[in-house]
Amino acid sequence: MRRIHTLLAVQSLVAILVSINRLGTWTLGYVLPNQFLRWVDFNNMLILPLISLVAFYLLKKTIEYDSPAREGAGHLALNLIFIVGVYLLAASYGDHEVTNYLHIRFCSNDSTSDLCRIIIFNDDEFGHWVFFTGFVMMNAALLFLQNLFPHKEMLSKTDVGLLLLNSLFLGAGVLANLGFEEIGLDLYVVAVLALLSAYLLWRRGGQPLFIYYTAAYWFGLITSIIAQAVR
């Protein structure tokens, strides 16, 4: 559990850094004199996702252990889903961050030229579709891996408390991204993961990832809806 808490704490830190990077002003400067990207785009595309992915993978390896399930078709299928999710998530960052920068810099007042129309579609539509597909696949794979490899030890009150504490940071990251701007596909993605994690928590009991994801996504979902309602 110590390793699980540590890796979830890394995800919590990344959620905070993503919000600071996205909503702050200090990352709006250019990475190089040729102005190919701003720091906000560079951080979102390379630095922060890499940290998160390493933590995700180590978390995956932590919850897996030797058992008959490890050699089964279910484990193989979930590994494939996780790998495909990683690829789609990476592809989405490469597409979205670059086109988001170009959209803001060159196409804020031009949505009709062919070039800007393509850039805007990649930024606002295609990049989001690919991202959320990969995001759901990775997170769902982790949840089902926890279902396939249930934690063997009884969780202490301290363990549950730390899981809930970590979940607040992820939930706050969801709120920062959903609560204060127009909501699109992202709301439904969070709702799907909230329902899935709650269902698994109800069916299989207090497994570490079920507690973490249920608390995080329901907190983020409910607070985002409230924030949208009072805007």
The secondary structure of residue 154, as a DSSP letter, is P
Structural contact between residues 67 and 149, judged by C-beta atoms closer than 8 angstroms: yes
pLDDT at 164: 95
Residues facing residue 74 across a β-bridge: none
Token pair 């110590």 in the structure block, residue: 2
Reported as a single tens digit per residue, the pLDDT across 128-185 is 999 999 999 999 999 999 999 999 888 999 999 999 999 998 888 888 777 666 767 7
User: Side chain identity at 55, as an amino acid letter?
Assistant: A
Q: pTM here?
A: 0.89
Structural contact between residues 230 and 206, judged by C-beta atoms closer than 8 angstroms: no
Q: Which residues of the chain have pLDDT under 70?
A: 179-181, 183
178: Cα within 13 Å, side-chain hemisphere:
25
Structural contact between residues 89 and 45, judged by C-beta atoms closer than 8 angstroms: no
